[in-house]
Structure 1
């Protein structure tokens, strides 16, 4: 039986959410803020892919070696996406000010361009890059 030691450092973001730990797509355990667990996985499963998940987002897959050594894996959130990304919502009112301030067509076009870039960035972050909200790192 393969043993894996998982730990999650104490984080200020996502502190009320637990991360689901999936091995080959099957839920093994939940990992709360500041928690450390050792899980056992059957060797009969072959190649093991470990992944962390939170709501619809998650991490990229991490290939687990087939040796019987205990692996230590750190599961943490992506600091940029979890800390700075919510502030992008604060830019929406600013684009409204640029769009609707004055009669200049130039300011309106600049504001609309910024708004479109913001929307594309948010949609891309929530769909295309959804597997980068969490990090699974071998220690």
Structure 2
């Protein structure tokens, strides 16, 4: 069995959630905020992938074959999606004012912003859901 070190630096976001570390579909361990663990990779899992997950979102996968003995793997949240993306929700108020035709800008522009807003939110929670966490070797 190979040993690897998993590291999750302290983060101000997602600090109350642990990151689940998966080999294939099976949970290997969980990492809390600011935690570092050394784990053993079972020999039967050599051809699988390593992935981090939080709720329904996660990271891209790393092939276990490409990870060397005693290599350090860092799992960190995507700063843009975890810090900045919730602020886009504040735009909903501005969009509502435009749609309600309060003479700030035309109603058509407000509807256009609302459609773009929905596309961005839908893409973030479906298409780009494996971008919420970054996993990299060091």
TM range (shorter): over 0.9
SS of the equivalent of 1:92 reads helix
1:89-139 C-alpha deviation (Å, 9 max, x unpaired): 1000101111223469x7100000000100110011001110000010111
2:85 aligned with 1:55, yes or no? no
Q: Name the counterpart of 2:23.
A: 23
Runs of 5+ consecutive residues of structure 1 not aligned to the other structure: none
Contact 1:59-1:136 within 8 A present in 2 as well: yes
SS of the equivalent of 2:89 reads helix
Contact 1:47-1:66 within 8 A present in 2 as well: no
Contact 1:99-1:111 within 8 A present in 2 as well: yes
User: TM (normalized to structure 2)?
Assistant: 0.93
1:19-54 C-alpha deviation (Å, 9 max, x unpaired): 000012210111000000011012222313100000
- How many residue pairs get aligned? The number is 138
Q: Name the counterpart of 1:128.
A: 127
TM-fit CA distance, 1:71: 1.4
User: TM (normalized to structure 1)?
Assistant: 0.93
CA RMSD of aligned residues (A): 1.7
Runs of 5+ consecutive residues of structure 2 not aligned to the other structure: none
